[in-house]
Amino acid sequence: MKRVNKSSYRAGLLTVLIFVLSILNIVIKDYYFDKKLDTGKLDMREVSMANSDNVHFESEDMVPDIFEKKVMPSGKPIGIYVKTKGVMVIDTGVITGMDGKLYSPCKDILMRGDYVIDINGVNIEDKKSLVEVVDDCKGDPVTIRILRDGSELSYELTPVKNEEGRYKLGLWVKDDISGIGTLTFVDENSFAALGHSINDNDTGIIFNISDGAIYNTNLVNIIKPDGNNPGRLEGVIDYSSQNIIGRVTGNTEFGISGFLVSDIDSNSLGYEWMNIAPKEEVTNGPAYILSSITGKPEYYSVIITNVNYDKASGNKSIELEITDERLISITDGIVQGMSGTPIIQNNRLVGAITHVFLNDSTKGYGIFIEYMLEKND
């Protein structure tokens, strides 16, 4: 039997992999979203003032090199646009039929948070396709396939002809969401941001995404908090291919993640390469956040006031207070759009800002970077 030269075999596999990646990069570079910015409300979670117990426990086993790799904290404000997988049901409504009577074909059948993925065997990719398929049925019953809590279900529904002569199911749906957040870190070819999931504003349910991208953004205004209304970053985004930083592939409770497009130099997105810290080495005391809200990356001083090592604390594992008067003078503390701002302690990336306290915008929560990396790897 002829022996295979292992070095040649590996070299061949590497050549094939590089070729495939090069093709993907060409496709990605030419892809764009032609969408307007909804100055989104996906950016920051507001919470009431609360204290959490400082509970320490042994960390779970992790891949050893997760703490050996270097990443580049960013702090760069970004535009975010994601599309749903199917269309998301926001609510069911009432239709006035041709006879003047009121109908609700989907009431008590479809629920808020359902994803319509197929009607009569036709894939539903957006609101437009749903409207067209339903109207084309001409009043005949349709078989609608949905995704609910990870399970597929099918129902037969009969559209109603409304006063304008169009056939409707009486559904309020959504197929995308956009807004402003903060890029937490990059490595050579991937990124993580936000530190919490992108949720639908109407239902509070996490977005089940099919595609998405992050973009460069130019901040045009910073609205400071007013009473129980959190402040926010406002920006303008050019949703074109040359403005894409990366493609979004994941949306979890610990943030969004994805890969950088081929022509993006990761060194242009952050400040300096550094190691990350295991959560057990994050302590109460002085720290910094890195932010580019002024147009350039700057370190601002904060105090970590409480650390909760219990993984159940999720993206509220770190409590911190903004102490840097420069940042307080600009934002009054933490505002919407700063979710994902990296937290640095002892020259290592330890976490990212995720929430702001409603009654004190200088205080908020953060997530351990360890959790974001687990989802990003």
- Active site amino acids: 196, 324, 339
Task: Round to whole Å and give the CA distance between 68 and 73.
Answer: 15
Exposure string of 225-252, with b = 16+ CB inside 10 Å and e = fewer, is: beeeebbbbbbebebeeebbbbbbeebb
Q: How far is CA 1 from the centre of its chain?
A: 53
Q: How would you class 150 by CB atoms within 10 Å of its CB: exposed for 0-12, middle for 13-18, buried for 19 or more?
A: exposed
Strands (E), 10-109: 45-47, 70-92, 95-96, 102-103
Copy the structure tokens of residue 133. Answer: 């398929």
Task: Round to whole Å and give the CA distance between 86 and 367.
Answer: 30
Residues facing 16 on adjacent strands: none
Other beta carbons within 10 angstroms of residue 40's beta carbon come to: 19
CB distance 329 to 157 below 8 Å: no
Q: CB under 8 Å to 283, separation ≥6 — which residues? A: 304, 307, 345
CB distance 318 to 305 below 8 Å: no
Task: Round to whole Å and give the CA distance between 18 and 343.
Answer: 35
Exposure string of 113-135, with b = 16+ CB inside 10 Å and e = fewer, is: bbbbbbbeeeebbbbebbbebbe
Residues facing 321 on adjacent strands: 303, 363
